[in-house]
């Protein structure tokens, strides 16, 4: 089947080795435009993005991010605007806030892939340190980095799935049998 969306979903991989080539500002803007279209619980749009291309800030973020194997030339930090969430009566642990981080991340990853960029997700960082580096406004919490650049020709081996993972092993059709 020829379907560019399905093909992009199938061929996207985390890029953990990136070249030093910068990301075009226009591509970064396209990616942010795509992220604005990500599904959002109640269409509340409680996320804010911090887009970074400044080399010094990128270096500082790397220092506080042990899980970042790549050296990105741009990072988009997906943040939750806690003050805005509270104004909607949402608890800081509300499920929708974190589901929205995921929908946004996948939208950005696919947008990056379709623009020919390499992209990787990183979550293992000190939220306090990242907030300090970025001087984030009160109530904003950094939740995920989308690390961007141009994928190097050779990538480190990814994390292998445990067991046999196919769409069939992930799926159960219809109701489970009633419990005795
Ligand atoms: C919530 C979440 C957190 C992740 N955190 C990291 C991370 O800190 N560092 C990293 O290299 N990859 C991280 N990943 C990427 C996963 O390891 C990756 O998606 C998985 O191994 C499958 O590889 P693929 O996306 O290339 O198919 C994260 C992915 C998700 C969804």
In tens digits, what is the pLDDT along the chain, a chain of 180 residues?
689 999 999 999 999 999 999 999 999 999 999 999 999 999 999 999 999 999 999 999 999 998 898 999 999 999 999 999 999 999 989 999 999 999 999 999 999 999 999 999 999 999 999 999 999 999 999 999 999 999 999 988 888 878 889 999 999 999 999 998
Nearest-angstrom CA–CA distance, 141 and 84: 12
SS3 32: helix
**Phi, psi dihedrals of residue 142, rounded to the nearest 5°:** -75, 130
**Are 83 and 139 contacting, i.e. CB atoms less than 8 angstroms apart?**
yes
Q: Evaluate whether residue 167 is within a structural domain.
A: no
Q: Evaluate whether residue 97 is within a structural domain.
A: yes
Q: Which domain holds residue 124?
A: 11-155
Q: Evaluate whether residue 40 is within a structural domain.
A: yes
Q: Evaluate whether residue 2 is within a structural domain.
A: no
CA dihedral 109, 115, 117, 119 (to 10 degrees): 0
Q: Tokens 């790549």 identify what position?
A: 70
Question: CB-based contacts of 141: which residues, under 8 Å, 6+ apart?
Answer: 79, 80, 82, 127, 131
User: Domain count of the chain?
Assistant: 1
Q: Show the ligand 1 pocket: residues with CB < 6 angstroms.
A: 13-14, 16, 67, 69, 120-124, 158-159
Which residue's alpha carbon is at the smallest distance from atom 29 of ligand 1? 121
N-to-C CA span, the chain: 43
CATH assignment of the domain containing 37: 3.40.109.10
Nearest-angstrom CA–CA distance, 178 and 166: 26
Q: Evaluate whether residue 4 is within a structural domain.
A: no
Angle (nearest 5°) at CA 9 between 24 and 75: 35
- Residue 142 CA to ligand 1 center (angstroms) comes to 17
Q: Evaluate whether residue 160 is within a structural domain.
A: no
- Residue 16 CA to ligand 1 center (angstroms) comes to 10
Q: Evaluate whether residue 179 is within a structural domain.
A: no
């Amino acid at each position: 089947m020829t379907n560019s969306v399905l093909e992009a979903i199938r061929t996207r991989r985390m890029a953990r080795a990136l070249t030093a080539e910068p990301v075009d500002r226009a591509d970064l803007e396209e990616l942010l435009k795509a992220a604005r279209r990500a599904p959002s619980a109640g269409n509340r749009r409680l996320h804010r993005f911090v887009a970074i291309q400044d080399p010094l800030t990128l270096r500082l973020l790397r220092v506080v991010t042990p899980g970042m194997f790549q050296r990105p030339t741009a990072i988009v930090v997906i943040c939750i605007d806690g003050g805005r969430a509270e104004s909607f009566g949402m608890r800081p642990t509300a499920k929708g806030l974190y589901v929205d981080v995921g929908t946004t991340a996948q939208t950005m990853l696919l947008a990056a892939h379709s623009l020919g960029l390499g992209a990787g997700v990183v979550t293992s960082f000190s939220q306090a340190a990242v907030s300090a580096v970025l001087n984030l406004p009160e109530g904003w919490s950094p939740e995920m980095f989308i690390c961007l650049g141009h994928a190097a020709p050779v990538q480190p081996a990814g994390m292998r799935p445990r067991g046999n993972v196919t769409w069939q092993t992930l799926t159960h059709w219809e109701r489970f049998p009633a419990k005795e």
